[in-house]
Amino acid sequence: MAYSGNLTCRDCGLTFTATWGSVTGADEYRCASDHVVYVEARWGTVLSPGGSGAEGTTLAQLRGLCPSCSTELITGCLPSCPVCRGRDHDVMLN
Ligand SMILES: [Zn+2]
Ligand SMILES: [Zn+2]
């Protein structure tokens, strides 16, 4: 399920607009630097919307690490705050 809305950072109070969540047939993963990677749910194949060069590899081949910065990819998390990089937000869906 993909979401879009306003997120208010509980750490610094910034409100920003973002989209997040899984898309049809693929789960959204984010790394510590907030690079987004979509992983096809059935085969674990990476579908990267921004063209990171990792398309067609699997999450297992990446060892669960971001193809751009090699930090751990986590699914089901909110976008990080653009100011303080926190991930604890109040969510107001559009
Ligand atoms: Zn913040
Ligand atoms: Zn990354």
Amino acid in position 58: T
DSSP letters spanning 53-84: S-TT-BTTTTTTB-TTT-PBPEES-PPPPTTT
Q: Which residues surround ligand 2, an ion (CB under 5 A)?
A: 31, 33, 35, 66, 68-69
pLDDT tens column, 5-17: 999 999 999 999 9
Task: Using pLDDT thresholds of 50, 70 and 90, give the confidence band for residue 89.
Answer: very high
What's the CA-to-centroid distance between 41 and ligand 1, angstroms?
A: 31
The whole-number pLDDT of residue 32 equals: 93
Task: Using pLDDT thresholds of 50, 70 and 90, give the confidence band for residue 82.
Answer: very high
Task: Compute CA distances 32 → 20, 65, 93, whole Å.
Answer: 15, 10, 23
pLDDT tens column, 36-63: 999 998 999 998 765 566 788 999 999 9
